[in-house]
Chain A
Amino acid sequence: MRRWNKDFNFYIGFVITGVVLLLVFLGIFYTPYDAEAMSAADKFAGISLHHLMGCDNFGRDIFSRILKGSGTTLFIALCTVLIGVGIGTIIGAITGYYGGWLDEVLMRFNDSVLAFPSILVALVFISILGSGKYHVIIALGIVFIPSFARIVRGEFMHYRNLDYVQNAKLMGAGDIRIMFVHILPNAWPVIASAIIIGFNNAVLAEASMSFLGIGVQPPDPSLGRMLSEAQSYLFRAPWYAFFSGLTIVLMILGFALLSEGMKRK
């Protein structure tokens, strides 16, 4: 493991991410109100001790909905990154380690996919698959494979010619063993920072798609969809949009600062 000199950025990022994760964790087990419970009396209730972030157009407690919604967003981002890293690492490892025509073909294809804005490619998948939480995960997961594959491939190309790998080969280690036992641990720091950046992109992409109404569908709360609903009531309940957006910003900022802090050696 590379040693990271943890600076100011890292600590702030750590605190923000820590608080967000704690709240999300809390949200799994406990929310002050039922996130779906509507109450006509509390319609557009302002910020108060009862409703920390006020209430929305159905009188639902915004704080509770944000806790649940952040959970949905993080869950989608996590699954997306897992798909992207999992398949991307396998593709990157094989193409980087063996090279040859398969590498050429896959990387040409990779490059042309990478040239497109990820949200656009995800929109194509969504228009084919239909919207919904799991379709978003599949669409974004596939979209994220090429960028991880490219990074892992670069690392594997670097390590495959090093002496210690040649040595392992001479000692009779199989290709799979060399790839995943000898090379992968060395490539890990680079993959780890790619995961954090990928995580941020996934949060942003999910929020954008839900905001457009083609991501997470009701009744699942999602930060992006809350923001798009809040837009219609911007004048009556500005806090609705403010808190939903702020949560997205904090999530992204926390991870960005973490990766920034790790990068500085």
Chain B
Amino acid sequence: MRYVVKKIGILLLTLLLVSFLAFLAFQIIPGDPAVKMLGTQATPEKLSALREQMGLDRPMLFRYAVWLKDFVLGDMGTSYSYNMTVGSMLSGKLPITLTLTFLAFIMIVVIAIPFGIYTAKHKDRKLSKVLNAVNQIMMSIPPFFIGILFTYFFGLVLRWFIPGGYISYEMSVIRFIGYLIFPAIAIAIPKAAMTTKLLKDIILEQTKLDYVRTAYSRGNRTNGVLYHHVLKNAMIPVVTFLGMTLADIVAGSIIIEQVFSIPGLGRLLITSISNRDYPVVQAIIVCIAFIVIMINFIVDIVYRILDPRVRGQ
């Protein structure tokens, strides 16, 4: 319990630090936000009025405090490019990106665990060697290239889906998920390949250890040793890796959204960076950062549940 309280403390501190860095980063940018909003033709009186209204004449730490308070209360500022609040631009985007991330994650687990166990268990079979070679290649293909290949083969040649024909989850949840399947596979393939290799290597490493020999000498069969003893130990580093991967998948979906024209957080982020729409960029970065930190926090907790040796420390 004390551990969890301590962890939550560190979590809050990290969130604070990250939010401050995100705030600071966008303060260093040369140029005056007031000029950006009103254009270079604006009169000095109008500019100074807007600066006062935006609080730009106050000291930085004060502005940070105000910004943080507003942010926590859900007011993330106003977009420079569109006359909309950032909150209204972000709403509805987060579920899309999170669904994509979740689907990709499930696929990684579903693909990697059976393949990892199979290639470790039958490491001398021809099929395993073929799988290992394919795996090595899969690891090297960037997700956006897989996405483009999918668009060509499944979209244009086989016509299994309509490229760019995104369907909103408000219209049909099933067709929404159906459209996200291919992007999710594109994100999942390289990561699943890495996870497969990691799991295989760890299982093979573990089977050389003394406890495995002891387990055999007590009369266990191969499957019993593998599933009851080895896999339990092998899962610990795999969970750590999957946790790290989850953060990468969030980043990966930013790119994949571009390939499949999915109007999620990533697409908004890229357009906002190109338009230099800093309030939107800042809000998305902070949102993604929060998601990543929360994921790390959850992985830490799961890690302790899985590994009793860490629990006592």
Interface residues in chain A, defined as those with a beta carbon under 8 Å from any beta carbon in chain B:
9, 112, 115-117, 119-120, 123-124, 126-128, 204, 207-208, 211-214, 227-228, 230-231, 234-235, 238, 241-242, 245, 248-249, 252-253, 256-257, 260
Chain B: CB-nearest residue to A127: B273
Partner of B139, one of A116, A231, A248, A256: A256
Q: Which residues of B contact A117 (CB under 8 A)?
A: 247-248, 250-252, 292
Give A200's nearest chain B residue, CB to CB. B140
With contacts A112-B17, A248-B145, A260-B136 taken as known, whether A119 is within 8 angstroms of B152 at the C-beta atoms is no
Question: In the complex where A117-B248, A212-B270 touch, is A256 in contact with B136 (Cβ < 8 A)?
Answer: yes
Which chain B residue shows the least CB distance to A248?
Answer: B142
Q: A117-B247, A234-B163, A256-B139 are in contact. List 14 more A-B contacts (CB 8 A).
A: A115-B296, A117-B251, A117-B252, A119-B254, A127-B273, A128-B26, A213-B274, A228-B258, A231-B151, A231-B259, A234-B156, A241-B148, A249-B141, A249-B145
The one of A112, A128, A211 that contacts B255, using a Cβ cutoff of 8 Å:
A211
**Complex Cα distance A245/B17, Å?**
38
Please state if B145 and A253 are interface contacts (CB–CB under 8 Å).
no
Q: Which residues of B contact A9 (CB under 8 A)?
A: 136
Residue B29 CB within 8 A of the other chain:
yes
Determine the chain A residues whose CB is within 8 A of the CB of B250 once the complex forms.
117, 120
Indicate whether B278 reaches chain A with its CB closer than 8 angstroms: yes
Q: How far is the CB of B175 from chain A (nearest CB, A)?
A: 23
Q: For B281, list chain A residues within 8 Å (CB).
A: 124, 127
A120 touches B288 (CB 8 A): yes
Q: How far is the CA of A248 from the CA of B144 in the complex (A)?
A: 11
Type the 1/0 row for B149-160, where 1 means its CB is closer than 8 Å to any CB of A: 101100010000
Contact B141 A227 (CB under 8 A): no
**B273 and A123 contact, CB distance less than 8 A:** yes
Whether A127 contacts B296 by the Cβ 8 Å rule is no
**In the complex, what residues of B have CB within 8 A of residue A214's CB?**
270, 273-274
Q: Tell me if A253 and B137 are in contact (CB < 8 A).
A: yes
Docked complex Cα distance between A241 and B254 (Å): 20
User: Which parts of B249-301 form the interface with A (CB within 8 Å)?
Assistant: 250-252, 254-255, 258-259, 269-270, 272-274, 276, 278, 281, 285, 288-289, 292-293, 296
Is the pair B14, A112 in contact by a Cβ cutoff of 8 Å? yes
B310 within 8 A of A: no
In the A-B complex, list the 8 residue pairs whose CB atoms are closest, starting with the nearest.
Answer: A117-B251, A245-B145, A253-B140, A252-B140, A127-B273, A119-B251, A127-B281, A120-B251
* B140 and A126 within 8 A (CB): no
A263–B90 Cα distance when bound, in Å, is 45
Pairwise interchain contact A208-B255, C-beta atoms closer than 8 A: yes
User: What separation, in Å, do the CA atoms of A128 and B31 have in the docked complex?
Assistant: 11
**How far does the Cβ of A144 sit from chain B's closest Cβ, in whole Å?**
15
